[in-house]
Amino acid sequence: MPFLSEVVLASGNTHKYRELSALFAPLGFSLIYGPERLDLDVEEKGKSYAENALLKATAWSRALGMPAVADDSGLEVQELGWAPGLFSARVASSDAGRIAWLLDRLRGKESRRARFVACVALVWPGESQTRVFLSEGFCWGRIATEAAGSAGFGYDPVFIPDRFNATFSELGEELKSRISHRAIACRALRDMLELPDMVKSLSVRSGETD
Please answer whether residues 61 and 55 qualify as being in contact, where contact means their C-beta atoms are separated by less than 8 angstroms. Answer: no
Catalytic-residue membership of 104? no
Q: Within 10 A of 65 (CB to CB), how many other CB atoms are there?
A: 8
Cα dihedral: 146, 110, 118, 156 (round 10): 10
Q: Cis omega before residue 84 (within 30°)?
A: yes
- Catalytic residue among 72, 95, 162, 197, which? 72
CA distance 158 to 99: 7
Dist CA 145 CA 198 (whole Å): 44
User: What are the residue numbers of the active site?
Assistant: 72
